[in-house]
Structure 1
Amino acid sequence: MKKLLFFLIIIFFSFSNCKSAKQAKSKNPTPSKVIIGANTNEDIYTEKTIRTKDINASSGSISPTVSKAYNIVEYAKQFKGVRYKFGGATKSGMDCSGLVFESFRAHDVILPRISRDMAKNGDKIPLNNVGIGDLVFFKTGSRRNDISHVGLVVSSDDNGNIEFIHSTTSAGVIISSITETYWDKTFVEARRIL
C-alpha cells in the first residue's frame, strides 16, 4: 500500500510539469539545491556556437563551464522531434521540464523536475545576457501567476537573437526563437545554472 501511495504521489507531481498550478507562497522561499558533480565525458564544442565573450582572452581557451553548457545543449538536441508527453522524460515522450531535467542530469547537474521549481535555482540574468545552456522561463498556462514552461538556450548573439530548445504540446521537442510573438509575450525570466 505504501508503494502504491508513493507511486501515485510521484505521478501527481510529474503531471504538474509544464502546467500552471496555484502554489502557496512562502514568506522566505528557499530554493532547491543544485548539485553539480564531476563530469568524466570529454568536453566538445565549436567556435560557431560559442560567443566571443565566452573565450578567455589571455589563453584563447573556452571555460569548462561553457564547454559543459555546450555538451548539455548537444545532449538536449538529440530529443528534437520527440513527441510531447505530459510528465515524460524519455525518447518515447517528453515535456518541457523533463527535457531540461534529463539534459542536465546526464551531465551530473541535478535540478528540480518541475519548471516552476527550476526557476528558483541559479542566478537570475537579464535576457540580453543569456548564453548557451541558460534557462528561459515562461508563464503559458491559463493562470498567469506561476511559471509553467522552461526552455534551454541553444544559441544567442549580440543582436538579441536567442533560440531555445523545449517541448510543446503541439509540436513536441523543437527549437524556437524568443522573438516569436507568443514566446516574447509569455517570457518571464532567464536563469544561469552553471
Structure 2
Amino acid sequence: MKRIIRFSPLLFFSLLLISCGPSKKVIPGKESLGAPEVKINTSPNLEPEDNRAYTIIEKAKDFLGTDYKYGGTTKRGMDCSGLIYISFMEEGVSLPRISRNMALEGRRLHLKEVSKGDLLFFETNKNRKVINHVGLVVEVLPEHILFIHSSSSRGVMISSLSESYWYNNFVMARRVL
C-alpha cells in the first residue's frame, strides 16, 4: 500500500526558513566587515566636476580589460599597484609604487566608513602573510563594495568584496584623499 505524504504550507515554510540560516562564520579581526553580504551605508553621490575621487576612478576605468603584467603601468599591461599608482598620479596624488607600501599611507577605515576612491588591501599569498594586492573602491552599494583592480588571471576588472575569495583575503581599507 502506497502512502501519500502531504505537506502543509506551514510545514513547508518552516523547513524553508530553517534551511536558510547563515553559512559563513564571522572571521576574527573583521568585525567591521560582518558577513560577506554586509549592509553598508551607501556613499554620498560624487559630483564629476569637483571630486578628485571621481576623476581617479574614471582614470582607473580607462584600463578595464587591460592584461595583467607584473610591474606594468600602461595599456600594454598593468599590475594592481600600477593601476592605483597611475590613476592617483594623474590627479596629482603621489603614492608609493608597491601595494604593501601604499597600505601605510592615509587613514585606516572600518568598512562601514568606506566610500568611492578609498583603497582596499589584501593578502593573497597563502605562504606569506604580507599585503600583496590593492584595489580602488568604485561603488558602495547596500550589500556590496565594488572595486577595480588588476587580477593576475583576468587583468583589470571590477570585483565585489562580497565574493568569498576577496572577503577571505581582505586585510584593511585606507583613505588617502
**TM-score normalised over the length of structure 2:** 0.72
Q: For 2:143 and 2:98, locate their aligned partners in 1 and report how far apart those are by CA, in whole Å.
A: 27
Query: What residue in structure 2 maps to residue 74 of structure 1?
Result: 58
Two-structure CA RMSD over aligned residues (Å) = 1.9
How far 1:144 moved relative to its partner?
3.8
How far 1:128 moved relative to its partner?
1.6
Q: For 2:176 and 2:49, locate their aligned partners in 1 and report how far apart those are by CA, in whole Å.
A: 15
**Is 2:48–2:55's contact at 8 Å kept on the other side of the alignment?**
no
> In structure 1, the residue corresponding to 2:167 is in which secondary structure?
helix
Matching residue's letter, 2:78: M
Q: Say whether residues 1:137 and 2:121 are aligned partners.
A: yes
Matching residue's letter, 1:141: N
Q: For 1:51 and 1:123, locate their aligned partners in 2 and report how far apart those are by CA, in whole Å.
A: 17
Q: Say whether residues 1:152 and 2:136 are aligned partners.
A: yes
**Is 1:70–1:133's contact at 8 Å kept on the other side of the alignment?**
yes
Matching residue's letter, 2:173: A
**Is 2:103–2:121's contact at 8 Å kept on the other side of the alignment?**
yes
**Largest Rg, 1 or 2:** 2
Q: Say whether residues 1:174 and 2:166 are aligned partners.
A: no
Matching residue's letter, 1:165: I
How far 1:118 moved relative to its partner?
0.1
Q: As a proportion of its length, which structure holds more helix?
A: 1
How far 1:62 moved relative to its partner?
8.8
Q: Say whether residues 1:192 and 2:172 are aligned partners.
A: no
Query: What residue in structure 1 maps to residue 43 of structure 2?
Result: 51
Matching residue's letter, 1:137: F
Percentage of identical aligned residues: 51
**Is 1:164–1:175's contact at 8 Å kept on the other side of the alignment?**
yes
Q: For 1:155 and 1:114, locate their aligned partners in 2 and report how far apart those are by CA, in whole Å.
A: 23
Task: Structure 1: give runs of 5+ residues left out of the alignment.
Answer: 1-49, 56-60
**TM-score normalised over the length of structure 1:** 0.66
Q: For 1:167 and 1:152, locate their aligned partners in 2 and report how far apart those are by CA, in whole Å.
A: 10
> Which aligned runs of 4 or more in structure 1 are off by greater than 2 angstroms?
61-64
Q: For 2:73 and 2:176, locate their aligned partners in 1 and report how far apart those are by CA, in whole Å.
A: 20
Q: For 1:109 and 1:81, locate their aligned partners in 2 and report how far apart those are by CA, in whole Å.
A: 24
